[in-house]
Amino acid sequence: MNILNKTSSSDNVLRIAIAQINLLVGDIEGNAKRILEWIQRARDEMQADVIVFPELVLTGYPPEDLLLRPGLHERVNTALQQLTSEVKGITALVGYPEKTDKGIYNAVAVLENGKCTAVARKNYLPNYSVFDEKRYFTAADESCVFTVKNKKLGICICEDIWYPEPVKKVVDAGAELILNPNASPFHGLKTHEREDVIRQRVSEIKIPIVYANMVGGQDELVFDGQSFVIDADEILSHRLTAFEETLAILEFDSNSLKPLSTSIVEPLSEEASVYQALVTGVKDYVTKNGFSGVVIGLSGGIDSALTLSIAVDALGADKVEAVMMPSCYTLDMSVEDAREQAELLGINFKVIPIEKPFNIFLELLADEFAGTEVDATEENIQARCRGLLLMAISNKKGKMVLTTGNKSEMAVGYATLYGDMAGGYDVLKDVKKTLVFRLAEYRNTISTNIPQRVIDRPPSAELAPDQKDTDSLPPYEILDVILESYVELDMGLEDIVAAGFDRETVRKVLRLVDINEYKRRQAAPGIRITKRAFGRDRRYPITSGYGRSRK
């Protein structure tokens, strides 16, 4: 954990600590223990007057249907009471679900001197994209202001800061500075979106806003931190590190509430931020779920190579095992490249050919297949042989299988159920193929993790003689734009064609997306890095007549 120390010791300074923390959803007692540790550090090491934690920090975010369990609220109340009794010499803002006779509120408790002196409740409940807070919470219609060092501080929880009304309400109640606890998940360019919104709020109310966000991975979501401050002049004075736990102290003149210093961490590039999001997601999913490590099917192709690189960066080489499973269609260069990368990264690597089990399955199915032509069935049997081997290793060694399918493949069903889709977590599930190449190039600028030949050679599943992805799919430069238009931007066939794409190509791609919903519904969860990912973002029926009449 980074600790950013104070710069001044004057009593004419208001010191506000941001706790950019990574917690485990549902671990009420463990979270409370860590919250108290951070409170004590902020008080004793930084002499902070106030510490602000992210939204729903006591339960972790999002707690989902845990909120429907009465036992959760009993544990929350017990933990909050214990925390309250321990908070002395500092004011702590602790987010929690507040169960009342009127419903459950997304709330923040103001704790000081062994008491809860105020409670802020969320007004606007997001119910779009990955959020479904209206399922659980009751919307409030009130403001919360408390006093520290004769200054009135207001609280607006997460979504409330995106609208003028809750902010104005807090200012009308006397707030001279606003604290904004958040649980804002990452997607590309999210940093600038947040800062633009907060700057707009500041332009309306003319007082500073402190934006505190959490970090860490939670299932498909990754929280990137990057907490920040916009001062009363609409100027960014602080931005914290991305994807790292940080306890930072902000010092304001206790009269004017102007920041006494600036500390701005530069935002990461698109490739760097996505790569770090993937690393964070893998690290937290594997460790928080108690796996000893991971196993990956390493094919010599770019998807598995990038997945391996991410896994090693997330977990360390000693926690990662790779298995190359060649068939009669696997090129020698694929085995060579897989072995070279394994040696580069220093991981446990082995080669297990699938020729024998593949032939045995063909023998067992000989009567069933009599009189038929070789087709994708035989290709899928190869993929399922590999899936069986990986899952057996996983079961025996307690290591989770990381699958390697990218968003482009998952969109059009270019994957085998119970074959290359078999596993616990899909690292690249929301990463388009064109971005896979860019991320591989980016990672190699830091150190060579991926053999250059893997990046340069044409993609192939190597399940048939001389096979290339472009045999059945448009070039990825075209496919990815069509997919983004349809999946992420909700554009229809005519709009995409009007943008300059061949009608038959677009029609084929859209049909593939529609008919492969059943596969995606059975796919492993994966890390969300775009505004609309498959999974909790995009929920379409499996059985549907929509799109059948496209011409």
Active-site residues, by number, are: 55, 122, 158
Yes or no: say if 349 and 356 are a contact pair by the CB < 8 Å rule.
Answer: no
Whether omega for the bond prior to residue 259 falls within 30 degrees of 0, making it cis, is: no
CA-closest candidate to residue 153, choices 93, 242, 76, 94: 93
Residue with tokens 């009608």: 503
- Distance in angstroms (rounded) separating the CA atoms of residues 426 and 350: 21
The DSSP call for residue 464 is: S
- Distance in angstroms (rounded) separating the CA atoms of residues 214 and 175: 24
The helix/strand/coil state of 496 is helix
- Edge to edge, the sheet with strand 294-297 lists 348-351, 320-324, 294-297, 400-403, 425-426
Q: Report the DSSP beta bridge partners of residue 230.
A: 209, 236
In angstroms, what CA-CA distances link 499 with 26, 60, 496?
A: 47, 43, 5
DSSP character string of 232-282: TTS-EEEEPPBTS-EEEEEEEETTT--BS--EEPPPPPHHHHHHHHHHHHH
The helix/strand/coil state of 239 is strand
CA-closest candidate to residue 342, choices 321, 313, 369, 368: 321
CA-closest candidate to residue 546, choices 492, 503, 500, 499: 492
The DSSP call for residue 487 is: I
In this structure, what are the phi and psi dihedrals at residue 246, rounded to the nearest 5 degrees?
A: -145, 135
Residue with tokens 């011409």: 551
Yes or no: say if 352 and 324 are a contact pair by the CB < 8 Å rule.
Answer: yes
Contacts of 200 (CB under 8 A, 6+ apart): none
